[in-house]
């Protein structure tokens, strides 16, 4: 049984981490993409031209298409590969902006749909399943930071608009005493890990809507921060989708402005020992539920292999 993961752009290395998770539990999975990523990940999917990718796909038993890449799906139809078992992952703005269009394209030809966006469950994709990103816990939790007061809050958005940075900073200005470490400057993925690690609390997201569409769902950065042993403050306006799939989540969820102020102040008021305990709980949870091995086992069951 050979699985091939493919896309044009692998946003946040999501496809690559998925492939590593499958390989960690003994599945023959290869992953390819067309374009490199600006974050310059130390490990990422192999870059191929489209013609070479199509030759690879002929060898697959299951083809997983990531990030709503309808261009790849259209090519599969042209070379008569749609009889293979095909899976699509809807992960972001492309699907969010026009779900009906992409449902018409994919629903008739795919075996299953996966998404890491909880709000997409309501939008009509075929046989939809929720999946969080796979996390390399050992790689992330290695820089070290001692809990100290006043607590240091970190916020390092990859995209200020998508993460709701302007509103986050405004609300933090009304919270109790803390040290704010914030930058939206572009750095390498390794440097991003380091500056994320040098804080006690990480604020990931506050954005109920994105370009007029329902949003407010935590992303890859929230899981990376948890693997770095941080208390994670974020948002999920459809949290039941996560809990129905994986169970309890230790993130500090803030879906309204009032919740954000109250919850952040409550975390800032914790004694150091209790904040450290919450950090440990968060780290142990992501290691237990979202490690490569845990994600690989979950995928094997959903892909029926």
pLDDT in tens, 129-163: 999 999 998 777 655 678 989 999 999 998 999 99
Q: Using 50, 70 and 90 to split pLDDT, how confident is the model at 78? A: confident
Q: What are the residues facing 209 on neighbouring strands?
A: 214
Of 116, 134, 90, the closest CA to residue 292 belongs to: 134
**What is the pLDDT of the chain when averaged over all its residues?**
94
Q: Quick: pLDDT tens for 160-216.
A: 999 999 999 999 999 999 999 999 998 888 888 889 999 999 999 999 999 999 999
Cα 186 to Cα 9, 156, 157, 183, 191, distances in angstroms: 18, 9, 9, 9, 9
Cis ω for the linkage preceding 150 (within 30 of 0): yes
Q: Looking at residues 73-99, what average pLDDT do you find?
A: 92
- The pLDDT score that the predictor gives to residue 151 is 98
User: Does residue 2 sit in helix, strand or coil?
Assistant: strand
- The pLDDT score that the predictor gives to residue 72 is 95
Q: What percent of the chain has pLDDT over 70?
A: 98
Of 153, 152, 168, 177, the closest CA to residue 257 belongs to: 168
Is it the case that residue 268 has pLDDT exceeding 90? Answer: yes
Element (H, E) at 297: helix 292-303
- The pLDDT score that the predictor gives to residue 143 is 52
User: Does residue 248 sit in helix, strand or coil?
Assistant: coil
Q: Quick: pLDDT tens for 109-124.
A: 999 999 999 999 999 9
User: Do residues 189 and 175 touch, judged by C-beta distance below 8 A?
Assistant: no
- The pLDDT score that the predictor gives to residue 203 is 98
* Structural domains in the chain, sorted by start: 2-134+291-303 (3.40.50.2000), 137-289 (3.40.50.2000)
User: Do residues 88 and 104 touch, judged by C-beta distance below 8 A?
Assistant: no
- The pLDDT score that the predictor gives to residue 142 is 59
Is it the case that residue 81 has pLDDT exceeding 90? Answer: no
Q: Quick: pLDDT tens for 28-52.
A: 999 999 999 877 778 999 999 999 9
Cα 245 to Cα 24, 232, 239, distances in angstroms: 21, 20, 10
């Amino acid at each position: 049984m050979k699985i091939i993961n493919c896309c044009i752009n692998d946003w946040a290395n999501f496809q690559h981490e998925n492939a590593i998770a499958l390989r960690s539990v003994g599945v023959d999975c290869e992953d390819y993409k067309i374009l490199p990523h600006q974050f310059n990940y130390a490990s990422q999917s192999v870059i191929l031209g489209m013609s070479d990718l199509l030759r690879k796909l002929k060898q697959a038993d299951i083809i997983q298409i990531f990030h709503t890449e309808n261009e790849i799906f259209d090519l599969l139809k042209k070379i008569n590969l749609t009889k293979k078992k095909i899976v699509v992952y809807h992960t972001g703005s492309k699907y969010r902006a026009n779900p009906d269009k992409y449902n018409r394209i994919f629903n008739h030809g795919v075996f299953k749909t996966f998404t890491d966006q909880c709000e997409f469950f309501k939008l009509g994709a075929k046989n939809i399943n929720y999946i969080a990103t796979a996390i390399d816990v050992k790689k992330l939790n290695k820089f070290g930071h001692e809990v100290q007061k006043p607590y240091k809050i970190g916020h390092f958005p990859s995209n200020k608009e998508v993460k709701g940075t302007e509103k986050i900073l405004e609300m933090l200005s009304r919270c109790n005493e803390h040290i704010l470490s914030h930058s939206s400057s572009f750095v390498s993925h390794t440097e991003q890990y380091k500056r994320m690690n040098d804080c006690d609390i990480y604020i990931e997201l506050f954005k109920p809507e994105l370009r007029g569409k329902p949003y407010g769902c935590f992303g890859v950065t929230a899981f990376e921060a948890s693997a770095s042993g941080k208390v994670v403050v974020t948002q999920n306006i459809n949290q039941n989708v996560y809990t129905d799939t994986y169970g309890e989540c230790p993130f500090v969820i803030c879906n309204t402005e009032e919740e954000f102020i109250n919850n952040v102040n409550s975390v800032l008021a914790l004694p150091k020992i209790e904040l450290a305990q919450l950090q440990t709980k968060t780290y142990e949870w992501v290691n237990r539920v979202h490690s490569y091995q845990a994600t690989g086992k979950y995928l094997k069951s959903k892909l029926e292999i």
